[in-house]
Structure 1
């Protein structure tokens, strides 16, 4: 121990920081790997439907869910190990200084000298994100076309995948580079209080991106169409009005072009709120429940045609129950609270988020939607092959949403007869 202390004392400040970064990085990785190992053990050993789930989940669905989550967990282990080793090798081999020097050479050839450090930083960022995208591409391909394909979720063709990946990279750079240049300029002129100005700037940018994402960014990748006039739209508007939710529009997004996973969310500030429903959430609108026919622009060439043996999605009453839960987040102020707390610690946010999920469920219960939310949660868990059994430490650390069993138990006593 004394020798180790002497060796540490002999290290320069730079080497101490370097070693500390590596030690911290591997400590976090090993902790995450330990938690994932505990959860994989749950997937491997829990081969029968728990008694308390016997009435709501059949053995076939349970087994499909178990195998899907086991494959995802195994993939996450190997991809995580690769990422950690790659990061370590970049640090040990001087990858970051090399990339910075290369960025200086490129910006110099473009006519920018060393005084243009912001330009050099942007070139560095561009090269770093390009490297990350290329090294992550094989993992993304395997996840989409092996794991998601194997379990029936992938709806993309290879051509659609690459076109989408290129589009995402370009759009990301169009946002990232200007924002980064402004942030670096603020740091450069900010003086002793630069960190306050930088924090305020990043907060404002986050709020702006949240505001414009669904209107200007998301439509670049997916088609958003207004929910057609009808019973469901009328019921959504009535429920929103009953709690003074300032709803302006309801959209359906073609999530089925990419995956059969389902979701719903709302966005917007002040008096301009919109609700977005994935078509895979809606039993009556999901294209996966219908025979695939060629669209006006031949979209069937970009997405796969798959025949389902089961009806996917939720009935209107269950969709309303899910929205009742989401609107509960708004009514109870969870959105603003999450933005504030996200500036502190991620673990605290996870703990509080779980509490918010129970509160939002309780809000939907007060709207008289307990029975429908109960059945909707079961359907969504089944459609997404969610595994209802979790290691308690893994769940506490990772799951921002409480496990299915806990949510169902909280709703069980108040289900409508």
Structure 2
């Protein structure tokens, strides 16, 4: 393996890869700058928006999105330059060489331990990505999200969370990587079929295992207590024969004020998960306990001298007054939460989840078949600085990340278009169940709570939004009489 710069002379493959990557980067920045101009210039609430968003919330959303966009533009430039430098300076073969030397140092011949060397290579690459990416993550979380009132993490919680995520992901990804390399090396001419079957099995296992065993390592899932909301959700599920078995609330507010809801599970074992931030009247059990302790402390104040009690009451009144001014009520009413779930269950009823799964697996098969055709092409390895070796993992990285880049862009755009269509269909399903007005009000509240900006450039929206803009969804929900 030749050290130093990757030779660009007669290396049209690497040149074409870099050219395409930068063309896509320029294109995405162009449409981002179009949207940024809207954030800069659309200062007053437009007429079509003033019925759903007041000037104060509109202004907050505009500044929030502008801050995120400016941050994303700077990060994007740095990341693209970093990636290009790594490729041109032979960062991939250098890291592969370091991995081999580590094996040799401990008495193992790297030539006989390709899978082990590949895992070391993968781990070192992940560490590099963690180190270079962490400053961006910290700034996004503790500066931008904090500034706009979304971040709820302490620094200690954040650090523990990142450590858990990193090592858990490494454990899972290394097991999958080792199995894939083994299958490719031992599978013969039809290894791509075995790889495809393996990916299907892993996908199904992860869908089953992740919610029950991995997600609880990071968040607390509490069964939704009996009450009107639970009864209405169960009634909705029964009306469309949705096999609901569990109904959970996840403590999303420990991380962020952003809200969400989703369902998961196979066959007759479906579960629904609501973020606590989705519901305006929901209080986490731990917070309820804390409030009870506070009330007990207040009761104890009755035994204090009258003057001291008056001081405490005045302080409490001041705090309450401040809270009213700074904390607007967020989340949806019970009826609106049910409307949101009517939309989500529409994805299940209309088989959107299955369609996405089958399309995704068909795409995996096509990619593995193309990979099987290309993996023996020496020029692909030499283009990226691998002159003497053809490691399977490197082949996967080069082909799936760089050679398939044009295909990946087209596939991603088509999936975005399909996702938008599915969202309209799920809205229509909720509308047919009689939730049009409630779904409109819920979507509007979520737009405000998440400080999503309602004015979007059509080109930016078309390329980036997997969900249609709010005004389009509201118009579609109002277009016909409810069934």
TM-score w.r.t. the length of structure 2 is: 0.79
- 1:2-401 aligned at under 5 Å gives the runs 11-12=9-10, 15-113=11-109, 114-286=111-283, 293=290, 309-342=327-360, 343-344=362-363, 345-401=411-467
Unpaired segments of 5 or more residues in structure 2? 1-7, 294-321, 364-410
Unmatched 5+ stretches in structure 1: 1-9, 297-305
Q: Report the Cα offset of residue 250 of structure 1.
A: 0.5
How many Å apart are 1:291 and its aligned residue? Answer: 8.7
Q: What is the CA-CA distance between 1:189 and the residue it aligns to?
A: 1.0
- How far did residue 413 of structure 1 move? 4.0
Give yes or no for contact 1:371–1:415 (8 Å, CA) kept in 2.
no
Report Cα offsets for 1:215-271 as digits up to 9, x if no partner. Answer: 111111000111111111111111101101011100000000000000000011111
1:412 maps onto 2:408 in alignment: no
- Tell me whether 51-60 or 394-403 shows the greater mean CA deviation: 51-60
Q: For 1:326-358, what per-residue CA distance to the aligned partner results, in whole angstroms no more than 9, with x for missing partners?
A: 000000000111123335411111001101101
Q: Is the 8 A contact 1:370 1:415 kept in 2?
A: no
Q: So what's the TM-score if we normalise by structure 1? A: 0.91
Contact map agreement 1:370 1:414 (CA 8 A) in 2: no
Q: What is the CA-CA distance between 1:286 and the residue it aligns to?
A: 4.4
Q: Is the 1:365–1:414 contact (alpha carbons within 8 Å) kept by the matching residues of 2?
A: no
How far off its partner does 1:54 sit? 1.4
Q: Distance in 2 between matches of 1:79 and 1:295?
A: 45
| Rounded Cα–Cα distance in structure 1 between residues aligned with 2:181 and 2:17 | 23
Q: SS at 1:51's partner residue?
A: coil
RMSD of the TM alignment (CA)?
2.1
* In 1: Cα distance, 2:423 partner to 2:144 partner: 29
The structure with more radius of gyration = 2
2-side partners of 1:228 and 1:110: how far apart? 56
Whether the 8 Å CA contact 1:103–1:120 is kept in 2: the answer is: yes
Q: Distance in 2 between matches of 1:185 and 1:382?
A: 50
SS in 2 for 1:319: helix
Shift in alpha-carbon separation, 1:152–1:76, aligned structure 2, 3 A: same
Distance 1:149 1:33 in 2: 25
CA distance in 1, matches of 2:200, 2:53: 43
Q: Deviations over 1:124-144 (max 9, x none)?
A: 000001110110000000000
Aligned length, in residue pairs: 396
**2:112 is paired with a residue of what secondary structure?**
coil
In the alignment, is the contact (CA less than 8 A) between 1:388 and 1:405 conserved in 2? yes
Asked if the contact 1:341/1:349 (under 8 Å) is kept, the reply is: no
